[in-house]
Structure 1
Amino acid sequence: MGRMSESQECLAARAALGPLLLGRLTPAEEARARAHVAACPHCATDLAELEPVVALLGRVDPDTLAEDDELLDYRSLSDEQAEAWSPALVPAAPAHLRESVLDALGREDELRRRRRRRALLAAPMAAAAAVVALLLVIGLPGSSAPQERHLASVGGSQATATVHFVTTARTTEIRMDAWGLVDGRRYGLWLERHDGTRVGAGTWTAWGPTCHLELTAKLPLDEAAAVGFTTLDDHKDVARAAL
């Protein structure tokens, strides 16, 4: 697994640490998070630092807590304002631990909101992306390679994606938004040459049905004939587009 894919998995796992300690994950999500922590010493350290702070939350009187919107406002307060607002909620622990808990909870709430929005907008967004991709290609006279493509489902999968390319003389950076992924499954992104051989851009594990990735393949875009991604457990293509 490459360094970039490890960073993507750690980012997703760290966003789940707060909800894990608060019991807000499903059994499947909790199992995946604990499996990652067991294999990643950095995430294990983060979890160990959060545990004593989260334990203190059980001593807080719920009647004194603000509504969700007020809690988000509380995060923007200075340390002096936070102390004056509610001294009981500021434990005698390193300040970065409090921020880690709040950041983890905020990221998890944002992920849940994004999943709901994308589930509702996936179909129209995919159609719009295809139109935009066509307009971009038509509107770039003299360009020998497309800058954006919509990946269609193949092999009976439900996965689709929109990719944007940033090219150099020797590499292609691929920025991808994907939908219809299988939670917990591992995927690999690639560019395919005209002779059918493929150059990998990176791998990742799906944490929910959607994702945003920025990966790089060591192949110029004008030497590629197709782009797509594959499930790593059975090596089946799930989405692709010709270039």
Structure 2
Amino acid sequence: MTRCEFAHDDGAYVLGALAPAERAAYERHLAGCASCREAVAEIAVLPGLLGRLDPTALAEFLPPPEEDTRVPALLAAATERRRRERSRTRRRYASTALVAAALALLAGLGVSAVLRPAPAPAPTVRAVRMVSMVPVSTGAPVHAEIGLTGTDWGTEVTMHCGYDATSGYHKAYTFRLVAHGPDGATEQIGSWLAAPGDDVRLTGATRFTDAELVRLELTRADGTPVLGYDVG
């Protein structure tokens, strides 16, 4: 089978390295050569890949240039040799194209690693200032801290409540946290069952805004106040 004389021109053609006359001759040849058209189609993506390379990233994959003052003379000799040995030069262009494609893929992987978005930082948990509730009746074996966070729709309430293990106080009781608003309005924030030695942490909310909230009370199930906190 006779070998196509343009078999090694695909890389030079795709990279735009052919002289105008050679390019025109090669394009005329492509119209009737399915093998060359297929070769060009396989490497047609090379210019796009090379155009995306960062010169700084590409330099990391290339050996450092040698200091040689004969570079201009060597380039001139290479140009002259290309005119004399056209087929040999075409093979060199084809090899260069393949190496460039490999470098483009390596650089692309490196760029992807660099541009991969960093994990989102963990949300910042805002510390809530806690204040002690005041006993309403003396001797109550309950102590609690309360924290308030104002919002547009009301107030978030955080509570930490402990129950002392004392003699004569053994059974579990139902407790409620009640918010007092303007004009005597009240709203229950939450209720729970606790016995001596228990430790309860509660997070709730009330519709009363920080400007409307007057008082918070910790009461027994029958409504008897145990602890209180005046807001303001």
Q: TM-score range by the shorter chain?
A: 0.3 to 0.5
Larger Rg computed on CA atoms: 2
TM (norm. structure 1) is 0.36
Q: Which has the higher helix share?
A: 1
